[in-house]
Structures are given as structure tokens and as C-alpha cells.
């Protein structure tokens, strides 16, 4: 997992829960990196799982909620870091439809070791898009948050319905209704 995902995560933890919480979750985890992340480095995804688990235990907020919150936060970084990508699309459906075949393809060119999900995207009609998420990291709540924020970015409303195709969250279907 790319360092930027760790540095932004710890920044969010600091903003929402304070610096002591950042210290606590790093100290309670067994991290090869010792918690010293750089945005351009690459680290073991297991470290992120440990950090989220400890944050969840300490705050008693479910992991799914924290991952969703983190997706909302990470989107703000994407908007700031990649404004030219957003400018290439005029509406949320065309943006979402290109994540798999264009956006993440570009990301992989910049970071060949990026660990990205796979999406199967089907436009049912002009008001409904179906996205099936596949990833062994099971960060479907992160994906759901990015989908919601994409609509906010384009000042549009949507309803996202989630259906677990596999219990462990490695395959999840999103039905996205544009209203």
C-alpha cells in the first residue's frame, strides 16, 4: 500500500482524535516501518489493518465506519492532488466509469507497485450505474465513500446501495442511483 494512504490516514486520526491517538495506535501495533511513513514509500497493507483495528478498539467506532470516514477524507486529498483528472469529466457517472480503465491505469503508471481494486462497471440507464468491486483488501467502505464524494464534487445527489457478493467484502456490488 502506498505511503500516501498511510500519511493521510495518520493526518486524519490526528485531526479527529488528536496526536496522542496517533502515538497510541502506532505504539500498540507491531510495525516493520515503526510508523515512519513517507508519502512516496510502499508499506505492508497489514500495517494499515493493525492501525485501523487499534483505532477501532480504542474509540469503540466500528472499523467499517472508520474506513468510510477515511474514504471521505482521502477524497479531499485526491481533489487537491489531481484537479486535472476531475476537469476531464463533466459528471459523476463519466468519472466513475473511467476509474477502472483510465484513472487507476494512470495511477499504476506513476506507481507500478500500487495495490488497486478492480471494478466491473455497467451503465444500466442514464440514472443508474452498477459497479462491482473486487479486492482482496476488502476496502469496500472506502470505495463507497469515494463514490459518494464524487457526486458531491459535481454537486449532484445519489443513493448508493451496497450488496455483499462475498461475506468477507472482497466482492461487493454497488447500485448507484442518480437523482
Binding stretches for ligand HEM (CB under 6 A): 1-2, 5, 78, 82, 85, 96, 99, 103-104, 107, 114-117, 135, 137, 139, 142-143, 146-147, 150
Is beta strand 171-178 parallel, antiparallel or unpaired with respect to 128-134?
antiparallel
Q: Which is nearer to ligand HEM, 2 or 12 (CB)?
A: 2
CB atoms within 10 A of CB 31: 19
Q: Which is nearer to ligand HEM, 26 or 143 (CB)?
A: 143
Least separation in angstroms between CB 58 and ligand HEM: 23
Least separation in angstroms between CB 20 and ligand HEM: 26
Least separation in angstroms between CB 147 and ligand HEM: 5
Is beta strand 158-164 parallel, antiparallel or unpaired with respect to 171-178?
antiparallel
Q: Which is nearer to ligand HEM, 21 or 114 (CB)?
A: 114
Round to whole Å and give the CA distance between 140 and 38.
25
Cell matching residue 11: 493526518
Amino acid at each position: 500500500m502506498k505511503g500516501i494512504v498511510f500519511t493521510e490516514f495518520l493526518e486524519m486520526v490526528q485531526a479527529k482524535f488528536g496526536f496522542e491517538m496517533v502515538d497510541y495506535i502506532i505504539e500498540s501495533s507491531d510495525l516493520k516501518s515503526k510508523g515512519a511513513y513517507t508519502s512516496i514509500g510502499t508499506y505492508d497493507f497489514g500495517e494499515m489493518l493493525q492501525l485501523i483495528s487499534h483505532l477501532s478498539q480504542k474509540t469503540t467506532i466500528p472499523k467499517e465506519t472508520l474506513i468510510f470516514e477515511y474514504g471521505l477524507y482521502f477524497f479531499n486529498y485526491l481533489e487537491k492532488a489531481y484537479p486535472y483528472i476531475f476537469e476531464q469529466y463533466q459528471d459523476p457517472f463519466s468519472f466513475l466509469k473511467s476509474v477502472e480503465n483510465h484513472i487507476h491505469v494512470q495511477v499504476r503508471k506513476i506507481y507500478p507497485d500500487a495495490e488497486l481494486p478492480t471494478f466491473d462497471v455497467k451503465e444500466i440507464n442514464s440514472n443508474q450505474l452498477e459497479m462491482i468491486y473486487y479486492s482482496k483488501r476488502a476496502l469496500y467502505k472506502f470505495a463507497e465513500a469515494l463514490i459518494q464524494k464524487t457526486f458531491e464534487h459535481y454537486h449532484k445527489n445519489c443513493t448508493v446501495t451496497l450488496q455483499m457478493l462475498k461475506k468477507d467484502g472482497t466482492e461487493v456490488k454497488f447500485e448507484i442511483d442518480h437523482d
